[in-house]
Amino acid sequence: MAKRNENPSIDPTVVEMLEVAREKGIETAFDRAEAMKPCPIGAKGACCHNCDMGPCRLVGKHDRGVCGATKETVAARNLARMIAAGAAAHSDHGRDMALTLLAAAEGEAPDYEIRDEAKLREVAEFLDVPTKGRETMDVAKDVAEAALAQVGNQKGEILFLKRAPTKRQEVWRKAGVAPRGIDREVVEIMHRTHVGNDQWYESILMAGLRTALSDGWGGSMLATDITDILFGSPAPVRANANMGMLSEDEVNIVVHGHEPVLSEMILAAVNDPELIEYAKSKGAKGINLTGICCTANETLMRQGVPTIGNFLSQELAIITGAIELMIVDIQCIMQALAPVADQFHTRLITTSPHAYIEGAEHVDFEESHALEIAKELVRMGIDNFPNRGRTHIPKEISHLVAGFSHEYINYALGGFYRGSFRPLNDAVIQGRLRGVAGVVGCNNARTRHDYSHEYIMRRLIENDVLVAMTGCGAIAAAKYGLMSPEAAKYAGPGLREICETVGIPPVLHVGSCVDNARILTTLSQMATEGGLGEDIADLPAVGFAPEWMSEKALSIASYFVGSGLYTIMGSESPVANSPVVNRFISEGWEERIGGKLEFIADPEEAAQKALEHIDQKRADLGLEAYDPTRYGQSGDWLMQQFIEAMEAGQPVNLYSAKVPRLA
Shortest CB 525 distance to ligand BF8, Å: 24
CB of 457 to ligand BF8, least distance (A): 15
> Between residues 84 and 102, which has the closer beta carbon with respect to ligand BF8?
84
Whole-number Å distance between alpha carbons of 575 and 302: 38
CB of 421 to ligand BF8, least distance (A): 26
**To the nearest whole angstrom, how small is the minimum distance from the Cβ of residue 472 to ligand BF8?**
3
E runs forming strands in 46-103: 47-48, 56-57
Nearest CA-CA partner of 226 in 368, 140, 124, 97: 97
Q: Residue 624: what are its φ and ψ, rounded to 5°?
A: -60, 145
Beta-bridge mates of residue 239: 400
CB of 236 to ligand BF8, least distance (A): 21
- How far apart CA 433 and CA 494 sit, in angstroms, is 6
Nearest-approach distance from CB 332 to ligand BF8, in angstroms: 3
The region that residue 283 occupies, defined by phi over 0 for left and psi between -120 and 50 for alpha, beta otherwise, is left
Which residue's CB is nearer to ligand BF8, number 298 or number 407?
A: 298
CB of 323 to ligand BF8, least distance (A): 18
CA distance 404 to 503: 12
32 Cβ contact list (under 8 Å, min separation 6): 2, 336, 445
Nearer to ligand BF8, 545 or 614 (CB): 545
Closer residue to ligand BF8 in complex, CB, 331/577: 331
Residue whose CB is less far from ligand BF8, 290 or 582:
290
Cβ proximity to ligand BF8: between 79 and 382 the closer is 79
Amino acid occupying residue 37: K
CA atoms within 13 A on the CB side of 611: 21
Residues near ligand BF8 (CB under 6 A) are 258, 293-294, 310-311, 332, 441-442, 471-472, 512-513, 550, 552-553
CB contact set of 523 (below 8 Å; sequence gap of 6+): 436, 438, 536, 539, 541, 563, 565
Whose Cβ is closer to ligand BF8: residue 212's or residue 412's? 212
Minimum CB–partner distance for residue 310 and ligand BF8 (Å): 6
**Hey, how many other C-beta atoms are within 10 angstroms of the C-beta on 80?**
28
Give the contacts of 68 (CB within 8 A, at least 6 positions apart): none
Q: Which is nearer to ligand BF8, 90 or 618 (CB)?
A: 90
Q: Nearest distance from residue 143's CB to ligand BF8, in Å?
A: 24
Q: How far is CA 113 from CA 103, 122, 264, 499, 548, in A?
A: 10, 17, 12, 35, 35
> CB-based burial of residue 646 (10 Å sphere; 0-12 exposed, 13-18 middle, 19+ buried)?
exposed
- Contact between residue 498 and residue 635 where contact means Cβ atoms under 8 Å apart: no
Name which of 186 and 513 has its Cβ closer to ligand BF8: 513
